[in-house]
Structure 1
């Protein structure tokens, strides 16, 4: 059979709403191989990760056509009938903290009787340890998906890991790269994410949020330019700011595993997904993301041979303070188990504040997930 033909993906127009946009730094990866370029990028990175944990990158050697082809594959997958998509859903996997394949919308009740409006399809990295059946529309294009996944790693993640190594004054700038090898077992994945538009009444009942404030659990997350405004970040002044969709960029946020490895020096960025502004409120939002994590065997203790962390006394983290020395695999499983647990709905106030039972937020004894209101 001939592969399923994929039509071009057309992005919706950006919002004309006057939003309170975040001021974020853009790292030009075109400087990376220039004399003194890495040092220049490290200076910018240092400021970004200690303040908001969010920044843009540009000139990352992945063409807009390659990005748009992935958006088109996500569109085709979500256009499938629900019963077809459900063939790639396994509720038992979610209970065990395995989060590959499909998760339907409405899996959880957010609060006030309103279910979540998010569908997720995760494609694990192609490390040989995550063989999975894929729907024909994706299976036909699996070579392009693998090439894109590997490019995310080689062109963006590896470069950022070297910059972080320089920032931490590590003796070898490839130290973090070795802990994040693509072909070594790990829980990195590419994600197509679909948020269905909701009516204003429903949005109001959940504080106008698609997803309340949270951090991601890995090293860094890559979010490809998304013209439907919805992502908001919590800045160092405690204000929620909108993230502007900038042409030719990827939005990067730093995550919990990197916070653990740096003893809290690198901030795990707090973000949420708000209902879009009025001129986009009726539009379904399709996201394309890549989640990078340390390899499964890596122990998430603060990096002991970083002169910077030693000088700053950053030799403990939230895990080691509990006497825990978690591997990435252990951390991913316990955190995803907590995230995907079918909890009781939150108590959502008129101001949009989410309150859960402590038991629903427990990751490990003594360690609670935080919902940022």
Structure 2
């Protein structure tokens, strides 16, 4: 049996090995967390659309993503209803209100949806309950998202507080609850009737729509309907499929906002930190065993054999550091999910776990390659 030189080198200094494993694990955790936030950013961008009952969307060409839409004429909704294959076309009104915490009296921006109570806008079963449907019809009454941040205050049905828009406050009552989640776009959401939306956002005429929702018949040709809508509708609206609008929002949040840049840069910095840590460990190990490496060269071992030993050490460190880093990241993911009440959809995925493992091995291997120069240049005559 071959002597496991790489393993014996590492365990010879147990304290150094523990420090090395801790350093690699730390880098792994950083990579996992940044990739997790980046992934949840992409998920939250599509989270709203996945719960909206529409196959095709109409929106202003000036819109960047769902929370920054620009209104367009409701006549576009009426025109869409006349296209063959369209089952229904529904208006959706969007905007931010200042919601006052009834306990602390502090106000915080909350995202509001305005809908016609008779339109099946959302794929949320709770909205079909008689109590919630009745609450939508009452003046100054809203449905409150359970996944909203605790900073908004109590969620109890019947709670009364104030909602403010354009400096004007109006009493509001929580008439029911639902589960939705706002992700990065919003810390909390509300659903109200279009008439209540008009009251809270006054002046906001209902003939100006934030988003148009087009639901197709089951036998409709979606491509043909999209092409027909693009042909008949003026250029003041875009006709976008569900897959395309989700992709555009993801691209906006990841590529056009500082949030996506920060998390992407965090992954790069984490890898650099890992490379530096492992390099320092391996360089120290090579330096302390330089006599042994020189002896092996004097015995006839070629440089590539000695380099293979260092690379093996790097891969062993990668695997030993990945295991605790992965385990701790699972706990941090769960902690983050609980801290955000499920509003931030962060979870471990198999593809991410494999990607980080490969990144860790690559990171440690790169560190080993950088530290090889001292082994290659080791001259027995000079060492002894």
Report TM bin, short chain.
under 0.3
* The structure with more helix, counted as a fraction of residues: 2
Q: Which one has more relative contact order, counting CA pairs under 8 Å at least 6 apart?
A: 2
**Under a length normalisation based on structure 2, what TM-score does the superposition of the two structures give?**
0.21
Which protein shows a greater Rg? 2
